[in-house]
Structure formats: C-alpha cells, structure tokens
Amino acid sequence: MSNYNYGYWEVSIEKHGRMKLPTALLKSLPEDERKNFWLAHGFGKHIMLWTKKAYEEQMDFLNSLNRNDVKVKRYRNAFLRNIANVECDAQDRFVIPKPLLDMYEIDKEVVLLLDNGRIEIWNHTEYHNQFAMLPSELEELNALIHSENFQKQNQN
C-alpha cells in the first residue's frame, strides 16, 4: 500500500458503463481491498464506490440508528436503493449499473476522488461546474475552515 489516502483522477467510461480503476488509485488501497467494491448513491451528485472496509463502517453506522424513526427509514431506503456489489476483472475493470449511470448522467468521462477508502465517481462536467473556483475563492474558503469558530462547529 502506498502512503496516499487521497487522490484525483479523470477516467473514461467504456461501452456499457465499464470503467477501469487507475493503477495509482488501486495501489493507494490495502491489497485485500483492490478487487471487490460496493457502489451506492453518493451524498451529492455523485456515485460512491466503497471499499469493503469503508462500506462495512457505513453499514455499522446505519444499523446503529433507530429504524422506527421516519427520517432514518427514509435515508436508509434512499441509500440502499440501487446498491451493487462489484468485482474488478483481471484488467481492474467493473461495470456501473445502468440505473446509476442514468441517475448521475454519467456518459464518457468521470472524475474519481479517493478519500480514505471512499471513492466518489462524478460526471466530469458536473464536478468541474460544482467545484471550480478562483484562487481568491480558495484562499477565502481556506481561511474560513481554519478558523477556530468553524472548527468548533464542525468537530466530529
């Protein structure tokens, strides 16, 4: 495993929604987490590709919640809808199910973001429209999130 837990890649989608995971991304994951993944709705306009460990952590969290709470039930049902277990082939490719491709308008190009075992799959255009910012905007945002008040409000 490399020392990188974060990364950004632009990847092409092949026919029928098949995608090859970049070698650098795979090397960033533990060896036993490189072939089997879970696809689910993201928390935004993207698909989440979870490693087994990250998916189990998410499911442990979901299972700890009160299923009789209407908001919890609604969230669980939305999160679990269209969830899929995928396994990479010998060329490190897997197929994204058509309902997820359609829902997130994924066609030919995607952006992959790796964040500690959670991999976001974005429509290329949507990602760049949503996160493009000027250097001055990035500077302001950086100052905000490093402020003491912001950190107090956003602690786990």
Question: Whole-angstrom Cα distance, residue 60 to residue 62?
Answer: 6
Cβ partners under 8 Å of residue 136, min gap 6? none
Under DSSP, the state recorded for 146 is T
Residue ranges and CATH numbers for the domains of the chain are: 6-130 (3.40.1550.20)
pTM summary value: 0.86
Using CB atoms within 10 Å of the CB of residue 6, give its burial: 0 to 12 exposed, 13 to 18 middle, 19+ buried. Answer: exposed
Query: pLDDT for 87-127, tens place per residue?
Result: 999 999 999 999 999 999 999 999 999 988 789 999 999 99
Q: Residue written as tokens 């689910």?
A: 40
Query: pLDDT for 34-67, tens place per residue?
Result: 999 999 998 889 999 999 999 999 999 999 999 9
Question: Whole-angstrom Cα distance, residue 148 to residue 136?
Answer: 21
